[in-house]
Amino acid sequence: MSRELREVAVPGEYLGVAEEFLPGPGAYESDYRLRAAVIGQVLRDRINKVVSVRPFKAVTLPQQGAIVIAVITEVREDIARSKIYIVNNLPLKYPFTGILHATQIAEKTGEVKQIYEHLRIGDFVRARVLNRTPPYLLTIRDPKLGVVLASCSKCGATLKPSGDKLTCPQCGNTEKRKIAQGYGKL
Amino acid sequence: MEKPRLIREDGLRHDGRRPNELRPIKISVGVLNKASGSALVEYGATKILAAVHGPREIPLRHLLLPDRAIIRCRYHMLTFSTHERKSPAPSRREIELSKVIRESLEPVVMTEMFPRTAIDIFIEVINADGGTRTASVTAASLALADAGIPMRDIVVGVAVGKVNNVLVLDIDEVEDMFGEADMPVAVAPSLGMITLLQLNGVLTRDEFVEALKLALEGANQIYRLAREALRNSYLKVRVEE
């Protein structure tokens, strides 16, 4: 354990005066004093004059621009709802709602006539977050984004990609989806 | 129950404590694994378990605030926590204490970092022997810190009472029942902020000033223990890794 690692702060811990540092993540200023906001390791950047606290247990929430894995829960005429379970490869403790609008599904505008031809209930999608607060608005308008795992609507088997469509290895059913690059790899 | 002798001839209290002495305090942090954060706090025989969930999305959309998280708090006494079985339904007193505890924590939690979400605090009184609301504030604020939720400071609670005309720190159930006054206080010591102050009974102006001084001294002692417990719970985790 290095010497630096030993400096552990708990919320309210005094870190220095406002003339010394600017508050970074996990720190804040109150009455010209810098204090820790979370329990974690104190990091003092003496070049940029920033003091921050790296939390031992961080709260993970979807951030703007984050790549998330979500499961479609509802498909309507112009909107699909989903539950976000993974953010930037980190699992969420509590799932959040993600909303996919018809305009955020196909790569070219005006292509989506029926969301049903691009997404179905139970599909796993890789999507990007567009806004900051729940309910999160998602987009899959990118070749890397879209359905990464889907099951057959007739027999329930996991669908396999063939060209720009998905086929069922058990019953031979063919389905249309907005498939992401790297389908089948979560 | 018969009224015991609250202040003995030698000036000590019925349980042998000095007037400005706290009960033995035990704090453990991170005792539950399903909750985001948790803490178990004991002030003498009073034993409180607090758990925090969130920030998370809740189905009650009308409650959410566009600029910050809401804090929901439930203080609850277990059926076996008192002399006579306590009905598990939330009583008027429990509903009020839930609100009072929530309001004593709201000034320190940085809720503005998590708009449109909810932070849930669940407090269970396992054994009640006076000072349950103050111990609950301590437990809840440690559970919030354990959950990694950014806070300006840790809040600790402590009660001061008047028994036989003597101001005493951290009163227990007997002293509360037969004493003249009970004053629960919650403090954020690093910020010098009082987030809860209630007074049941009568104190003169001078007695009030003295009682508040006593409460702040007690709060500082508990604060030291609380910070130590919080820090140790994470150092242990790091050593195990």
Query: Quick check: helix, strand or coil at residue B33?
Result: coil
Instruction: Report the residue of B152, B224, B232 to disrupt the A interface, i.e. the one with the largest count of A CBs within 10 Å.
Output: B152
Lowest mean pLDDT among A53-67, A98-112, B116-130: A98-112
Whether the CB of B222 is below 8 Å from some CB of chain A: the reply is no
Whether the CB of B153 is below 8 Å from some CB of chain A: the reply is yes
User: Which element (helix H / strand E) includes B211?
Assistant: helix B205-240
Name every chain B residue with its beta carbon within 8 A of the beta carbon of A30.
Answer: 152, 191
| Mean pLDDT within A27-38 | 97
Residue boundaries of the structural domains of chain B: 25-240
Task: Let me know if A84 is exposed, middle or buried by CB neighbors in 10 A (0-12, 13-18, 19+).
Answer: buried
Residue of chain A minimizing CA distance to B141: A11
pLDDT cut 90: percent of chain B above it: 93
The residues, ordered by sequence, that sit 6+ positions from A123 with a Cβ below 8 Å of its Cβ are A71, A72, A147, A149, A150, A177
pLDDT digits (tens, 9 = 90+) for A108-118: 766 667 888 89
pLDDT at position B20 over 80: yes
Q: How many residues does chain A have?
A: 186
Report pLDDT for B26.
Answer: 98
Q: Would you call A39 and B55 a contact, using CB atoms and an 8 Å cutoff?
A: no
Report pLDDT for A2.
Answer: 42
Q: Would you call B150 and A57 a contact, using CB atoms and an 8 Å cutoff?
A: no
pLDDT at position B239 over 90: no
pLDDT at position B56 over 90: yes
- Chain B: give the shortest CA distance to residue A180, in Å: 28
pLDDT digits (tens, 9 = 90+) for B176-234: 999 999 999 999 999 999 999 999 999 999 999 999 999 999 999 999 999 999 999 98
| Mean pLDDT within B56-73 | 95
pLDDT at position A3 over 60: no
User: In terms of Cα–Cα distance, which of B114, B97, B127 is closest to B196?
Assistant: B97
| Mean pLDDT within A166-184 | 92
The residues, ordered by sequence, that sit 6+ positions from A16 with a Cβ below 8 Å of its Cβ are A33, A34, A51
| Mean pLDDT within A139-152 | 95
Bridge partners (DSSP) of residue A151 are A158
Name every chain A residue with its beta carbon within 8 A of the beta carbon of B58.
Answer: none
- Confidence category of residue A4, pLDDT binned at 50, 70, 90: very low
The residues, ordered by sequence, that sit 6+ positions from A179 with a Cβ below 8 Å of its Cβ are A146, A147, A161, A164, A166
pLDDT at position B97 over 70: yes
Report pLDDT for B126.
Answer: 98
Residue of chain A minimizing CA distance to B227: A10
Number of Cβ atoms within 10 Å of the Cβ of A90? 11
pLDDT digits (tens, 9 = 90+) for B136-181: 999 999 999 999 999 999 999 999 999 999 999 999 999 999 999 9
Which of A8, A37, A94 comes nearest B56 by C-beta? A94
Name every chain A residue with its beta carbon within 8 A of the beta carbon of B149.
Answer: 38, 59
Report pLDDT for B213.
Answer: 97
| Mean pLDDT within A99-114 | 82
- pTM of full prediction above 0.90: yes
Which of A12, A26, A59 comes nearest B191 by C-beta? A12
Report pLDDT for A33.
Answer: 97
| Mean pLDDT within A163-179 | 92
Whether the CB of B116 is below 8 Å from some CB of chain A: the reply is yes
pLDDT at position A172 over 80: yes
Report pLDDT for B74.
Answer: 98
Q: Would you call A30 and B152 a contact, using CB atoms and an 8 Å cutoff?
A: yes
Query: Quick check: helix, strand or coil at residue B230?
Result: helix
Report pLDDT for B119.
Answer: 98
Bridge partners (DSSP) of residue A125 are A70, A147
Rounded to the nearest integer, the mean pLDDT of chain A is: 92
Report pLDDT for A185.
Answer: 79
Whether the CB of B99 is below 8 Å from some CB of chain A: the reply is no
Report pLDDT for A60.
Answer: 92
Q: Is the peptide bond before B55 cis (omega within 30 degrees of 0)?
A: yes
Report pLDDT for A164.
Answer: 87
Q: What crossing angle do the helices spanning B92-105 and B132-146 adopt, rounded to 10°?
A: 50
Q: Is the peptide bond before A135 cis (omega within 30 degrees of 0)?
A: yes
| Mean pLDDT within A104-109 | 81
User: In terms of Cα–Cα distance, which of A69, A65, A66, A39 is closest to A54?
Assistant: A39
Residues in chain A whose beta carbon is closer than 8 A to a beta carbon of chain B? 1, 5, 8, 10-14, 26, 28, 30-31, 35, 37-39, 55-59, 61, 93-97, 132-135
| Mean pLDDT within B8-25 | 95
Which of B148, B149, B190 comes nearest A35 by C-beta? B190
Q: How far apart are CA B197 and CA B189, in angstroms?
A: 14
pLDDT at position A165 over 50: yes
Which of A5, A13, A94 comes nearest B57 by C-beta? A94
Residue of chain A minimizing CA distance to B112: A133
Name every chain B residue with its beta carbon within 8 A of the beta carbon of A38.
Answer: 145, 148-151
CATH topology of domain B25-240: Ribosomal Protein S5; domain 2 (3.30.230)
Domains delineated in chain A: 3-55 (2.40.50.100), 67-148 (2.40.50.140)
